[in-house]
Amino acid sequence: MMVKTILLVEDNPDDVELTLRALKHSNIANPVVVARDGVEALDYLFGTGSHAERHESELPAIVLLDLKIPKIDGLEVLRRLRGNPNTRFFPVVILTSSKEERDLIEGYRLGANAYVRKPVDFIQFSEAVRQLGLFWLVLNEVPPSEKGTG
């Protein structure tokens, strides 16, 4: 089994840094790939554009997806991900500042596996990240994709 990569879709460098720090705090040492906008995230996931040369084995084990990102927003990224047979069952956790109900509902409606709100208090944030990592990287079994490359 390959090392499980984490794809972090986040445009705010502060949040990237804090998320990486929170992962480290939680002793999650998986490699993290950061996508700064929606287009980059989709390129990476579908192996297109700037990520055309990406090896299939580099597919991430989990996507941490911010909703407010440039070019293509988080919900649209999720929609396209679910529309593709390869990534239909991909674990996607929405990691966002927004606590708006309509975002939460829309996120789940589009097939998000979890919805985590980033608290202002970093200690709480670390705890949330730790639990996410524990579940999605250690416990969860991903169903095989239709091309058989889980």
Partner 1 sequence: MVLNPFRNSGLFSGRIRRTLVMLVLTALVPVLIVQAWVYFSWFETRQANERTNNLEYARAVGNAFREFVRDITRQESAMGDALIALLPYEPDQANDFLVRNVSEYHAVRSFHWTDPGGKVIASSDPRAIGLDLSDREYFKRIAGGAEWAMSDLIVGRASGQPAIIVARGMRDASGALVGVAMASIDPSMLGEHVMPVDRPERGVILIYDRAGRLVYRRPEAVTPPSVGETDPLLASAFMGHEATGESVVPGANERYISARVPISDTGWVAGAGTPYSLVIAPLMRSLALDFALLALLAAASLLVASVLSGVVVAAVQRLKAHAQAVGAGDLRHRAEVSGIEELSELAAEFNTMAALLAERGRAEQAASDALKRANEELEREIAERKEAQARLHTALQKLSFHVENSPLGVIEWDTDYRITRWAGEAEKIFGWTASEVLGKRIDEFKWIYEEDLGKVADVMRGMDTGERPSNISANRNYRKDGAVIYCEWYNSALLDASGKMVSVMSLVLDVTAQTRAQDDLRARSAELEASNKELEAFAYSVSHDLRAPLRAIDGFSLALLEDYARILDDRGRDYLARVRAASQRMGALIDDLLKLSRVTRAPMNRQMVDLSRMVEDIADELSREEPNRKVEFVIEKGLTADGDPQLLRSALENLVNNAWKFTGRRADARIEFGARQQDTGTAYFIRDNGAGFDMAYADKLFAPFQRLHSSNEFPGTGVGLAAVQRVIHRHGGTVWAEGALGAGASFFFTLADGGGA
Using CB under 8 A, pick the residue from 5, 39, 84, 119 that binds partner 1.
119
Q: Tell me which of 120, 138, 139, 148 binds partner 1, using CB under 8 A.
A: 120
How would you classify residue 43: left for phi > 0, otherwise alpha for psi between -120 and 50, otherwise beta?
alpha
Separation of alpha carbons 90 and 136, rounded Å: 11
Interface with partner 1, residue 123, by CB under 8 A: yes
Which amino acid would we find at residue 43?
D
In the block, which residue shows the tokens 């927003």?
Answer: 73
Residue from 1, 14, 52, 53 that binds partner 1 (CB under 8 A)? 14
* Phi, psi of 7, deg, nearest 5: -100, 120
Task: Please give the size of the binding site for partner 1, defined by CB under 8 A.
Answer: 20
Binding residues (CB under 8 A) for partner 1: these are 12, 14-15, 17-18, 21, 67-68, 96-100, 118-123, 125
